Amino acid sequence: MSTPPPAAPSGPMQGIRVLDLGVWVAGPFAASLLADFGAEVIKIEEPPHGDPIRRGGQFTGPGAHWCIDGRNKKSMTLNLRTARGRELLGQLLARADVLIDNHRPGMLDAWGFSEARLRALNPRLIVVNVSGYGQSGPYAQRLAYDRIAAAMGGLLYLNGYPDRPPVRTGIIVCDYITALFNTIGVLMALYHRDARGGSGQRLDVAMYECVFRLLEATLPAYDKLGIVRERIGNVSPGFYPDDMFETADGAWIVLSAVTDRHFAALCRLMGREDLLHDPTLATPEDRGRQLTRLQALIGAWVKQHRRDEVLALLTEARLPCAPVMRIDDIVRDPHYQARGTIIDVEDPQLGRIKQPAVVPRLSATPGAVYRGAPPLGADTDAILRDLLGLSPAEIAELHRQGVV
């Protein structure tokens, strides 16, 4: 059973105010992570529709994506196409610690928020510019989404099988990778400012660079050995055997027996001790050269057992293994339940809905979900009143003029 959420923000980011000026994922999800750990996040959205992610997608439905990325945030509508809207943004920036923006490069300047203006408004402000290609270079003005970054960063070419076209990952992983680097950058900038006595600064977060940073040894292998890494399906280069296998009941498991000790334990479990005396299988490199043969042997043995049976055998033998989990498997899984990895959140539009818990788990200053994702503009009036000091009449006039 989930514990009741705290009534107010908690966590190590408490007292930090973040303006989330982004759309979709690469910028806003970083703000979501900061909000999970207590930051006050004000999401500024353009009326009348707000962030397109509110409308979900073909496979998620309206609100399903937003309930994750919008939790713990406040929503304020603000029309930055108006002079009054930009004036109000300036007042908010003067009171903020972090601005996260992923509009095209130069958009902030076009709105009148040059680097000099931002420093004049708030020298302590940390400004995060998220874009597909970065704020400089010949591609800076090109548009990019997740798949574009995967292609440009070198990841897409490596996904799939050698005899088939490249395949995208099952989720928008490049957006989320970018958001993680975005969050790391904010935390480092805050540490520099608050623990080291530094000033605010600007972060240039390019999606393709975040993806490229995670390409393992692809670059040095090419630089020193001339190796152009190709698609190799489910094989992990240098780690054999390590693959997915189908069970007797049509499920799939992952099995990794990549060390000498694990390979020996697997051979004994399969009743194939003779393989331990085969000189062509003596080292991981040898096993890599015999991979097709090994996969057939292991696959035939796994196929003799039902999923739960073979996982029990492998676990008892201390071999790394796991079922390939669907989302319905995850919801029922006892380990997920015991650790509270899935929580119930009261969403103002969708009602009670399951969501991933806050990670990582901090022992002294844990994060929490204390508020469901707000409807568009739900906090506009309160922010104008409490943070900017506007009167009810002034707020009503802003509504009348279409500024908020």
Confidence label for 62 from pLDDT (cuts 50, 70 and 90)? low
Give the Cα separation of 223 and 204 in Å (integer): 26
pLDDT of residue 60: 61
Mean pLDDT value across residues 151-160: 94
The beta-strand segments (E) located in 290-379 are: 321-323, 342-347, 351-356
Q: What is the mean pLDDT of the chain?
A: 92
Q: Under 8 Å CB-to-CB from 131, ≥6 apart: which residues? A: 102, 104, 105, 140, 144, 205, 206, 207
pLDDT tops 80 at residue 284: yes
The two three-digit tokens of residue 116, written as one number: 């000099």
- The secondary element (H helix, E strand) that includes residue 129 is strand 126-131
Give the Cα separation of 82 and 402 in Å (integer): 9
Confidence label for 53 from pLDDT (cuts 50, 70 and 90)? confident
Question: What is the 8-class DSSP label of residue 354?
Answer: E
Mean pLDDT value across residues 269-277: 94
The two three-digit tokens of residue 57, written as one number: 């997608």
pLDDT tops 70 at residue 57: no
The reported pTM is 0.90
- Taking the CB of residue 112, how many other CB atoms lie within 10 A of it? 13
Residue intervals in the chain for CATH 3.30.1540.10: 242-331
The class of domain 17-214+340-401 in CATH terms is: alpha beta
Exactly one of 20, 101, 175, 243 is catalytic; which is it? Answer: 175
pLDDT tens readout for residues 335-372: 999 999 999 999 988 889 999 999 999 999 999 999 99
- The CATH superfamily of 242-331 is formyl-coa transferase, domain 3 (3.30.1540.10)
pLDDT tens readout for residues 102-124: 988 999 999 999 999 999 999 99
Mean pLDDT value across residues 139-147: 91
Give the Cα separation of 25 and 68 in Å (integer): 11
Tell me the three state secondary structure of residue 29.
Answer: helix
Percentage of the chain surpassing pLDDT 70?
Answer: 97
Mean pLDDT value across residues 52-69: 76
Question: Radius of gyration of the chain from Cα atoms?
Answer: 25
CB 368 within 8 A of CB 6: yes
Q: Under 8 Å CB-to-CB from 83, ≥6 apart: which residues? A: none
pLDDT tens readout for residues 214-249: 999 999 999 999 999 999 888 877 777 889 999 999
Q: How far is CA 140 from CA 131, 132, 201, in A?
A: 8, 8, 20
The two three-digit tokens of residue 254, written as one number: 């992952």
Name the residue type at position 239.
F
Backbone phi, then psi, for 93, in 5-degree steps?
-60, -35
Name the residue type at position 197.
G
Confidence label for 2 from pLDDT (cuts 50, 70 and 90)? very low
Bridge-based pairing state of the strands 126-131 and 98-101: parallel
Catalytic residue at 175?
A: yes
pLDDT of residue 219: 95
Residue intervals in the chain for CATH 3.40.50.10540: 17-214+340-401
Give alpha helix (H) positions in 213-283.
Answer: 218-225, 260-269
Give alpha helix (H) positions in 99-200.
Answer: 107-110, 115-121, 146-152, 155-158, 173-194
pLDDT of residue 378: 94
pLDDT of residue 241: 84
pLDDT tops 80 at residue 56: no
The two three-digit tokens of residue 50, written as one number: 């707000």
pLDDT tops 70 at residue 5: no
pLDDT tens readout for residues 292-333: 899 999 999 999 999 999 999 999 999 999 999 999 999 999
Confidence label for 129 from pLDDT (cuts 50, 70 and 90)? very high
